[in-house]
Structure 1
Amino acid sequence: MCDLHQIAEKEHSITTPSSFAEVLRRHRHAARLTLEQLAEASGVSARTLSDMERGRSKGPQHRTVTALTDALGLTGADRKQLVELAREGRLRDRWTRPTGLCELPRSVDDFTGRAAELAWTNELVRAADAPGAAGVGLITGSAGLGKTTLTVRAAHTLRPDFPGGVFFLDLFGMSPQPLPPTEALSMLLRALGIADQQIPGDVAGRASLYRSLLRDRRALIVLDNAASEEQVRPLLPGGGAGKALVTSRRLLAGLEGVRRLSLGPLPLLEATELLTGILKDRGASDEGSALWQLAQMCGGLPLALRIAGNRLVSRPGWNAADLAARLTNEERRLDQLSAGDLKIATAFGLSYEQLADSTRRVFRRLALVPGRNFDAALAAVVGGTSIEGAWDALDELVDLGLLQDSMSGRYRFHDLVRLFARDRLRDEEPAVERDALTLTMTSWLLRMATTAGRWFEPGYGRPNRPDPDLADLSSEEEADHWLRVNVDSWLGALRHLASVGRYAAVLDCAESMHWFSDRWMHAPHWQEVFTLAAEAAEALGDPARQAGQLNLLAWVHLVPREDLETTLRYTAQAMDLATRSGATAQIAMAHHTAAGALRRLGRLDEAIASEIQAAKMFRADGDIDRYCQCLGALGTCLRDAGHYAEALEQYLDLLALLDDDRSGLTPSTVAFTRPIALARVGECLGLLGQRPEAISKLTEAISLMEQAQLAAPQARALETLAALLAEAGRTGESCHTYARAAEVYEAIGDTEASGRCRDLANPAP
Structure 2
Amino acid sequence: MRFRLLGPVEASEQLGALKQRHLLAALLFDGGHPVTFETLIDRLWGDDPPADARGALYGYVARLRRVVKDSTGVTLVRWSGGYTLRVPDGAVDLFRFRELLETARSAGPDERLAALDEALGLWRGEALAGLPGAWAQRTRESLEHSRLAALADWATVALSRGRQAEATERLAAALAQDPLSEPLIAALMRALHSSGRTAEALDLFARSRNRIAEELGAEPGPLVREAHTSVLRDPVAPVRTAAPFLLPPDLPDYTGFAGPAAGAVTELRGSATSPVVVVSGPGGAGKTAFAVHVAHAVRERYPDGLLFLNVGGADPLEPAEALSRLLRMLGVTDADAQGNADLREREARYRAALAGRRVLVVVDDAVGARQIHPFLPGDAGSALLVTSRNRLVTLPATHRVELGTMSVGEARELLTRVIGVGRADADPAQTHRLIRLCARLPLAVRVAGARLAARPHWSVAQLADRLDDERRRLDELAVDDLEVRAGIAVGYRGLSPRAQAAFRALGCLDPPVVTALTLAALLDTTLDEADDLAEEITDARLLDVVGADGQCTRYRMHDLVRLYAGELADGARDTVTGAVAAQLRLVEHLAHQLPVATPRLYHPDGLPEPRDHWTATIARLDLREWFDAEEPALIAAVERAAALDLVAPACGLADALVFASFAARNNFDGWERTHTAASAAARRAGDRLAEAAMECGIGQLRYAQDRFPESRRHFSRAAALFESAGHDRGQAVALNGLGTVGRELGEHAVALPQINRARDMLDRLGDVAGVAHAHYSLGFAHRELGDDEIALGHLGAALDRYRRLGHRRGELVAIRGMGLVHRARGELDEAAELCGAAHVIATGIGDTHLAAYTAQALAKVWIRQGDPERGREPLRVALAATTGRHDGHGTALVTRTIGELHLAAGRVADAAGLLESAAGQWQAIGMRLPRARTLRDLGAARCATGDHETAHRHWAAAAETFHALGVREKDELTSWRAGFGCDCPDSAVRSTRSTLPPASAASSASDHRRAASSPNSLG
| TM-score (norm: length of structure 1) | 0.65
The residue that corresponds to 2:281 in the other structure is 141
For residues 232-271 of structure 1, what are the alpha-carbon distances to aligned partners after superposition, in whole Å with 9 as ceiling and x for unaligned?
1122245856554421023334434665444322344543
Mapped contact 2:522–2:583 kept (Cα < 8 A): no
Greater CA drift, 599-608 or 534-543: 534-543
Matches within 5 A, 1:540-555: 550-555=695-700
For residues 449-475 of structure 1, what are the alpha-carbon distances to aligned partners after superposition, in whole Å with 9 as ceiling and x for unaligned?
5555565564889xxx96377972565
Q: Distance in 2 between matches of 1:717 and 1:278?
A: 64
Mapped contact 2:466–2:473 kept (Cα < 8 A): yes
Shift of 1:357: 6.8
Shift of 1:324: 0.5
The residue that corresponds to 1:299 in the other structure is 439
1:417 partnered with 2:589: no
Describe the shift of the 1:693–1:267 C-alpha distance in structure 2 as closer, same or farther (beyond 3 A): farther
Q: Distance in 2 between matches of 1:648 and 1:451?
A: 37
The residue that corresponds to 2:810 in the other structure is 673
Consecutive unaligned residues of structure 2, counting only runs of 5 or more, are 1-43, 65-84, 86-91, 96-121, 133-172, 178-242, 339-344, 601-606, 900-909, 911-1019
Mapped contact 1:271–1:300 kept (Cα < 8 A): yes
Mapped contact 1:174–1:354 kept (Cα < 8 A): no
Greater CA drift, 413-422 or 255-264: 255-264
The counterpart of 1:472, out of the listed 598, 602, 614, is 614
Describe the shift of the 1:522–1:381 C-alpha distance in structure 2 as closer, same or farther (beyond 3 A): closer
The residue that corresponds to 1:320 in the other structure is 460
Matches within 5 A, 1:162-181: 162=301, 167=306, 169-174=308-313, 176=315, 178=317, 180-181=321-322
Q: Secondary structure at the match of 1:170?
A: strand
Q: Secondary structure at the match of 2:367?
A: coil
The residue that corresponds to 2:1017 in the other structure is none
Shift of 1:553: 3.2
Describe the shift of the 1:624–1:273 C-alpha distance in structure 2 as closer, same or farther (beyond 3 A): farther
Mapped contact 2:586–2:610 kept (Cα < 8 A): no
Q: Distance in 2 between matches of 1:718 and 1:276?
A: 60
Letter in 2 for 1:565: P
Mapped contact 2:309–2:326 kept (Cα < 8 A): no
Describe the shift of the 1:166–1:554 C-alpha distance in structure 2 as closer, same or farther (beyond 3 A): farther
The counterpart of 1:592, out of the listed 721, 736, 761, is 736
Letter in 2 for 1:419: L
The residue that corresponds to 2:427 in the other structure is 287
Consecutive unaligned residues of structure 1, counting only runs of 5 or more, are 1-31, 69-87, 93-98
Q: Distance in 2 between matches of 1:751 and 1:165?
A: 77
1:264 partnered with 2:404: yes
The counterpart of 1:628, out of the listed 766, 772, 777, is 772
Bigger Rg, structure 1 or 2: 2
For residues 197-231 of structure 1, what are the alpha-carbon distances to aligned partners after superposition, in whole Å with 9 as ceiling and x for unaligned?
899884232343367547xx6x7654332233233
For residues 249-308 of structure 1, what are the alpha-carbon distances to aligned partners after superposition, in whole Å with 9 as ceiling and x for unaligned?
233344346654443223445434543454443456432221221122111211101111
Mapped contact 2:361–2:383 kept (Cα < 8 A): yes
Describe the shift of the 1:108–1:424 C-alpha distance in structure 2 as closer, same or farther (beyond 3 A): farther
Shift of 1:610: 4.5
The residue that corresponds to 2:706 in the other structure is 562
Mapped contact 1:647–1:684 kept (Cα < 8 A): no
1:229 partnered with 2:374: no
Shift of 1:644: 13
Q: Distance in 1 between matches of 2:127 and 2:837?
A: 74
Shift of 1:752: 10
Mapped contact 1:715–1:744 kept (Cα < 8 A): no
The residue that corresponds to 2:388 in the other structure is 248
Mapped contact 2:696–2:714 kept (Cα < 8 A): yes
Greater CA drift, 385-394 or 165-174: 385-394
The residue that corresponds to 2:323 in the other structure is 182
Mapped contact 2:654–2:674 kept (Cα < 8 A): yes
The residue that corresponds to 2:352 in the other structure is 209
Mapped contact 2:802–2:810 kept (Cα < 8 A): no
Mapped contact 1:181–1:234 kept (Cα < 8 A): no
The residue that corresponds to 1:309 in the other structure is 449
Q: Secondary structure at the match of 1:247?
A: strand
Q: Secondary structure at the match of 2:363?
A: strand
Describe the shift of the 1:454–1:510 C-alpha distance in structure 2 as closer, same or farther (beyond 3 A): farther
Mapped contact 1:448–1:470 kept (Cα < 8 A): no
Q: Distance in 1 between matches of 2:888 and 2:353?
A: 61
The residue that corresponds to 2:664 in the other structure is 519
For residues 473-519 of structure 1, what are the alpha-carbon distances to aligned partners after superposition, in whole Å with 9 as ceiling and x for unaligned?
56595777766655565556556666777656666555545632532
Shift of 1:144: 0.5
Aligned residues: CA RMSD: 6.0
Matches within 5 A, 1:35-74: 58=125
Q: Secondary structure at the match of 1:472?
A: helix
Q: Secondary structure at the match of 1:348?
A: helix
Letter in 2 for 1:552: G
Letter in 1 for 2:708: L
Matches within 5 A, 1:108-147: 108-109=252-253, 111-113=255-257, 115=259, 117-118=260-261, 121=264, 135-147=275-287
For residues 603-657 of structure 1, what are the alpha-carbon distances to aligned partners after superposition, in whole Å with 9 as ceiling and x for unaligned?
3554456545645654565433223333544565578x59899999799858964
Mapped contact 1:107–1:149 kept (Cα < 8 A): yes
Q: Distance in 1 between matches of 2:707 and 2:754?
A: 19
Q: Distance in 2 between matches of 1:482 and 1:343?
A: 38
The residue that corresponds to 2:964 in the other structure is none
Mapped contact 2:255–2:410 kept (Cα < 8 A): no
Q: Distance in 1 between matches of 2:305 and 2:795?
A: 80
Describe the shift of the 1:722–1:420 C-alpha distance in structure 2 as closer, same or farther (beyond 3 A): farther
Mapped contact 2:253–2:414 kept (Cα < 8 A): no
Q: Distance in 1 between matches of 2:251 and 2:715?
A: 68
Describe the shift of the 1:395–1:518 C-alpha distance in structure 2 as closer, same or farther (beyond 3 A): closer
Greater CA drift, 684-693 or 473-482: 684-693
Q: Distance in 2 between matches of 1:545 and 1:365?
A: 25
Mapped contact 1:104–1:168 kept (Cα < 8 A): no
The residue that corresponds to 1:72 in the other structure is none
Shift of 1:594: 1.7
The residue that corresponds to 1:369 in the other structure is 509
Q: Secondary structure at the match of 2:386?
A: strand
Mapped contact 2:366–2:386 kept (Cα < 8 A): yes
Mapped contact 1:722–1:738 kept (Cα < 8 A): no
For residues 58-107 of structure 1, what are the alpha-carbon distances to aligned partners after superposition, in whole Å with 9 as ceiling and x for unaligned?
4799xx97x99xxxxxxxxxxxxxxxxxxx99xx9xxxxxx942458536
For residues 380-433 of structure 1, what are the alpha-carbon distances to aligned partners after superposition, in whole Å with 9 as ceiling and x for unaligned?
89889999998777655433323445753665432222333444567xxxx7xx
Q: Distance in 1 between matches of 2:430 and 2:450?
A: 16
Q: Distance in 2 between matches of 1:258 and 1:285?
A: 41
